[in-house]
Structure 1
Amino acid sequence: MGLTAMGLTILFDDSRRVPDDILGMTGVGSFGGLIHGRRTLLRHVQEAAQEAGLAPPVVLSSRAALDEAAERAATAPASTQFLLFPANLAAAGPREHLTRMLKTLAQASGNQAWPVRSATDWTGLVLVEQRLAEGAVTAMAQGRLREFVARRRKDFTQPDQADLGLIDLRDPAQFVGFLANNFDARHFNSISDGPDYTLVKRSRDRAKLRREFDYYTLLPAEQRIFFVQPFDFQDDGDTASYRMERLLIADMGIQWVHGTMTPAEFGLFLDRVFSYVTQRPARRVGRPEGRAVMDRLYRDKVVERVALLKSLPAYGDLAPLLARAVGGIDALMDRYLAAYESLRDRFPADRLVVGHGDLCFSNILYSKTTQLLRFIDPRGVESADELHTDPYYDLAKLSHSILGGYDFINSGQYEVALGADLGLTLASNAGERGWAQALFRERLAQAGFDPLLVRLCEASLFISMAPLHIDVPKKILGFALTARAILDEIDQARHGGKGA
């Protein structure tokens, strides 16, 4: 471990074990390993330091590393300043906020401390000159940094900026709020704290938010137990908003990507989800009506979304890569549409069910401890009839998280690699999840769903989502490669005589 010869040295203290409730939600033993915005918190600090023109942070992951840092600080040049940065602190806003903060602190002088409001013991950032660094780092190692600052208060000056906009992730409320938009909040939506333990969801797309709110009011009473209930809809002519209870529960996307579930725990989660699936109110329809709904979801939407993707400015740069990855987006779409037409008669198409409409993991709040399950962010509707959808659609959304690895792509936990044959391949950080996929397939069969049709519908999602994620073009390659793999699996099942 080296310390910079001059200027600001960031000491990133990642030695503290996360609290048990956060460990249970994420399975991550230290805060630096938490994934947020497609990067770990440690990676965010490293990249912010680079953007601020500073040396890479010194990562202290154990008590021994802290003790060594204290010894090295004692012999560092007198011009060196040290920023003691506990890993449990995070910038509440976008990463640019963290970069600006580090640039500002790099220009600060003297010894300064910025306490951060916390529901637990004292925490904060501390900037010290070299002459105090050994004592400060030793105090940090002992968990006595507050006492050190208080004891040497004559050496510390009042900082110009009292609040750096940081939060303490050891506080469960701040932790869940911080990760609430971890994956894919649309650019026109915002989630903020409301009064009395509520959240406020706000959007400039007022009509969309009105439809979303109306979904809850039109939902059959027996289904409402599965949803976080909204209230207090407001429309000021510029934005619309509603409030809902703030539950201190991480969504399943967060838990899935961090690998927190054991087979037994995941089985209990599936029991709860399929309780919802099998209880969805249904109405019988003629096959022409059922097929018309299917065609809108699994054929027409795919065609429309591919056309939208090709109309976007960024598509020009993406097209050659899609050609290398899957033979081009048109070829992928045509292959999917051929598979859909060949399997279309296999769908029952004789009933519609009340569906969520976007039952991906990031819209499912779940507590392993209490098995409390609640859904958020359903698709909007304007009438009770619009609540009904094809029975396979919600299952396809679940499948694209469990079988398709959507959350790993969406959170940046994947790579698109160039193979020896110059083809592109997808490698995610999912690890071995075959046990979870087998449990899901079992539940599908028990509930009377054809796994092959679920995968077919799932492939349509990966293709149709592409234009919605154009802000990160690499994601689209991940989605396309996943859709290709699903279609390969479907071909093998149909022509090889094996189940999907």
Structure 2
Amino acid sequence: MSAPSSIGLITSGAFVNQELVAEFGLLPPSFLPLGVGRLYDMQIDSLRKNSTETSPLYMTVPESFDVPAYDIQRLNEKGVTLLPVPDDMQLGEALVYAINVINAYNTGVRILHGDTVLGQIPSYLDVVSGHAEGDDYSWAAIKHSDNAIVSLETFEATSEQNSENPVACGYFAFSSGAELVRAISQARGRFIDGINNYLQRRPMKMEKIQDWYDFGHIQTYFRSRRLVTTARAFNSLQITHNTVRKLSADTFKMKAEAEWFESVPSKVQPYTARLLDKGSQGQRAFYSTEYQYAPNLSELYVFSTIGRVSWNKILTSCAEFLEICATTPGDQPRDDYSRQLMGSKTVERLERFAKETGFDIEHELVYKGRKKPSLLEISRRLETMVSFDPAASSTMMHGDFCFSNILYNSRNSRISVIDPRGYVFSEKCEIYGDFRYDIAKYSHSVDGLYDFILAGRYNLKQDGLYNFDLNFDTSSHCQWLQDAFSEMTIAGVSVSSAEIRAITTSLFISMLPLHSDRPDRQKAFIANALRLYSTLEGKI
């Protein structure tokens, strides 16, 4: 079997710097969160797009990094081989180490730094990608003559450098692994010096890259994430370095969300995104909020390795927000809202799901080998567990208090909520409802592991249409966090009470028809509802 023309290598063999550790925990750069996945998802896709399908891909990781089982499986499915390297190696040394392990001497080596995503990757070898300008960090300038590289020179952030020389932006391709090993070894493991040695033997070209996303520093991470998010969701979001504009043809929904931000009392405002503008854009309504350079709790829960100190601060801030909501009464009885939010809606949506999919909602189910009632029967039982009190007053409510709608600023240890509901009854904008619904939405992320389902980090087995077995690839902190969460009481309501757990379970059932484009998620939601219901059976 002949050797491949080139191999791809993502260099993620060192942990991120302390700024990013404070945000996301101790992670290699390629494992940083990005949306409902990790940075490596985009990196692998871009490398695959610019190489043959049979071209092997490798990724270096620190030897001390305990790669989660799900990531091992996902990388294996993507055809990526992990190469653990000693933690204390500098970049050039790690490259030599990797090439030796792979035995990639008689092939080309295409290198993408682990903190980098490029909009386009050159398809040929002996090339260095360049960008017109760098950031306020150390970088390498590419001196060239008509794109023929003369040399690379490293500069510190404070250095004065001719802006005509592009910056090396994280992608390098070499036609000979053996020559690269020799060049870096002669430079005593220094990567840039090694490239300059390589240039003495093999000419290299510089190719300018328009779209460079740098995730290597705290400021560049959030800026690059903003740009990637904009590119992926241009129909519904328009993001600048200062603002997020949310657009929708559902004009009432946009109006309700905007008016929620306008109407919340001053004591709530520190916990919310700041509304800047609202209006119409063509056939769509919009509102704009300040863009916040902060991760959401979904990313932190599923993908980070932050510790208990950080999570305790997050839980405290969430509880502060919910306490304020619970002690901000409305004029109407709570029951009016409760019955609309948690009454017959679940059964109505379940019937819609059955009509659309043919799933028999009256068929007895099985979960982990144990018989369970039908979905319809479970829904009816859950409804009986929710108390209705005519004397209770309505309270302020966010309406969608789940992890993806909660940002966390580690600098001030405070959450900031986005994407509120803004209404309970159709065509009536208001900030009021039943705060128990917010607690259930909160639990729907913590105990319900909703964000793990969206990220695909679960294993579902089915024996026939009505027999389910579900397991999650949860982070190490999940059990501790769930235990700490279960001990919380907010405005006199225990978050682990049977009533809150019943509402949480019903949420997974009621959202079934809302995910008609993803039958795989619908099955996971059913299995998850059965998992949650199983913890309630003794209390019904």
- Alpha-carbon shift at residue 235 of structure 1 (Å): 1.7
Alignment counterpart, residue 110 of structure 2, candidates 83, 87, 99: 83
- Alpha-carbon shift at residue 395 of structure 1 (Å): 0.3
Partners of 2:100 and 2:340 in 1: how far apart? 67
Partners of 1:187 and 1:401 in 2: how far apart? 23
Q: Which has the higher strand share?
A: 2
Change (3 A) 1:267 1:346: farther
Asked if residue 334 in structure 1 is aligned to residue 387 in structure 2, the reply is: no
Match of 1:120 in 2: 137
**Structure 2: tracts of 5 or more residues without a match:** 62-84, 140-168
8 Å CA contact 1:13–1:84 kept in 2: the answer is yes
Alignment counterpart, residue 157 of structure 1, candidates 196, 201, 205: 205
8 Å CA contact 1:70–1:137 kept in 2: the answer is no
Asked if residue 462 in structure 1 is aligned to residue 508 in structure 2, the reply is: yes
Aligned residue type for 1:461: L
- Alpha-carbon shift at residue 297 of structure 1 (Å): 1.0
Asked if residue 31 in structure 1 is aligned to residue 79 in structure 2, the reply is: no
CA offset digits 1:282-336 (Å, max 9, x no partner)? 43677xx533322221133323333443454xx3699999967699999213312
Change (3 A) 1:5 1:418: same
Taking every aligned residue pair, what percent have the same amino acid on both sides? 20
8 Å CA contact 2:36–2:299 kept in 1: the answer is no
CA offset digits 1:22-77 (Å, max 9, x no partner)? 22222242022234354433355446655651423122233364222355799733
Partners of 1:181 and 1:337 in 2: how far apart? 45
Alignment counterpart, residue 477 of structure 1, candidates 519, 523, 532: 523
Match of 2:144 in 1: none
Q: TM-score, normalised by structure 1?
A: 0.80
Match of 1:66 in 2: 95
Match of 1:387 in 2: 431
8 Å CA contact 1:188–1:204 kept in 2: the answer is no
Partners of 2:360 and 2:515 in 1: how far apart? 12
Partners of 1:49 and 1:23 in 2: how far apart? 26
Match of 2:237 in 1: 191
Change (3 A) 1:387 1:352: same
Change (3 A) 1:422 1:340: closer
Asked if residue 302 in structure 1 is aligned to residue 302 in structure 2, the reply is: no
Asked if residue 111 in structure 1 is aligned to residue 127 in structure 2, the reply is: yes
Partners of 1:278 and 1:325 in 2: how far apart? 36
The correspondence of residues 190-339 of structure 1 with structure 2, limited to 5 A, is 190-194=236-240, 197-280=242-325, 281-283=327-329, 289-312=333-356, 315=357, 331-339=374-382
Partners of 1:329 and 1:452 in 2: how far apart? 18
Partners of 2:27 and 2:36 in 1: how far apart? 18
Partners of 1:430 and 1:208 in 2: how far apart? 34
Partners of 2:187 and 2:39 in 1: how far apart? 20
Alignment counterpart, residue 377 of structure 1, candidates 419, 422, 430: 419
Partners of 2:367 and 2:254 in 1: how far apart? 37
- Alpha-carbon shift at residue 18 of structure 1 (Å): 0.6
Partners of 2:196 and 2:363 in 1: how far apart? 55
Alignment counterpart, residue 134 of structure 1, candidates 181, 187, 195: 181
Aligned residue type for 1:69: A
- Alpha-carbon shift at residue 396 of structure 1 (Å): 0.5
Partners of 1:167 and 1:472 in 2: how far apart? 30
Aligned residue type for 1:199: V
8 Å CA contact 2:460–2:471 kept in 1: the answer is yes
Partners of 2:104 and 2:486 in 1: how far apart? 61
**Structure 1 residue matching 2:293: 3-state secondary structure:** coil
Q: Which has the higher helix share?
A: 1
Change (3 A) 1:65 1:148: closer
Partners of 2:278 and 2:221 in 1: how far apart? 26
Partners of 1:42 and 1:36 in 2: how far apart? 9
**Structure 1 residue matching 2:221: 3-state secondary structure:** helix
Which moved further from structure 2: 139-148 or 390-399?
Answer: 139-148
Which moved further from structure 2: 16-25 or 201-210?
Answer: 201-210
Aligned residue type for 2:192: L
Partners of 2:455 and 2:282 in 1: how far apart? 34
Match of 1:410 in 2: 454
